[in-house]
Amino acid sequence: MQRTSYRIGAILVFAGAVASLALAIYAYVTPLTGVNGSVGALIVIAASLVLALAALVLPVISTRSWRNVLRGLLLLGLIGTFLAGLLLHRWWIGLAMVIGLIGLAIDMTRPARAAPPARTKGSLR
């Protein structure tokens, strides 16, 4: 049960990042979003992609120190993307990042020993 909650943490980070990615792509390519074609939206697309990849990697890192480094980077990425979303007036991106932050908080409750890799749909095994 506890192990499942650890997976949920990474899954939430991944889900938040993927949602942010989709929302940012929509904002970038759709006319009249106010930020279509903007560098800012591109930055969020790139950041979301990186966050999603990091969420996939997080559960498989067994070394505590490296896991904490990644958690720290994820925290910065989630907060930065959250702020970028708000500055782009893409409130849903902000919400997606809140979900990601919740996931990261859950992940941080993992014990020092590494948990088995999390399974996310079609990506992890």
- List residues near another protein by CB under 8 A: 31-35, 38-41, 43, 83-84, 87-89
| Contacts of 56 by beta carbon, 8 Å cutoff, 6+ apart | 10, 14, 120, 123, 124
Question: Computed from CA positions of residues 114, 10, 104, 48, in that sequence, does the dihedral angle turn out positive or negative?
Answer: positive
Q: How far is the CB of 30 from another protein (least distance, A)?
A: 11
Q: Which is nearer to another protein, 53 or 83 (CB)?
A: 83
Q: How far is the CB of 81 from another protein (least distance, A)?
A: 13
Q: Which is nearer to another protein, 29 or 83 (CB)?
A: 83
Q: How far is the CB of 47 from another protein (least distance, A)?
A: 13
Q: Which is nearer to another protein, 24 or 56 (CB)?
A: 24
Q: Half-sphere exposure of 54 toward its Cβ, with a 13 Å CA cutoff?
A: 26
CA–CA distances in Å: residue 18 to residues 34, 36, 47: 22, 19, 11
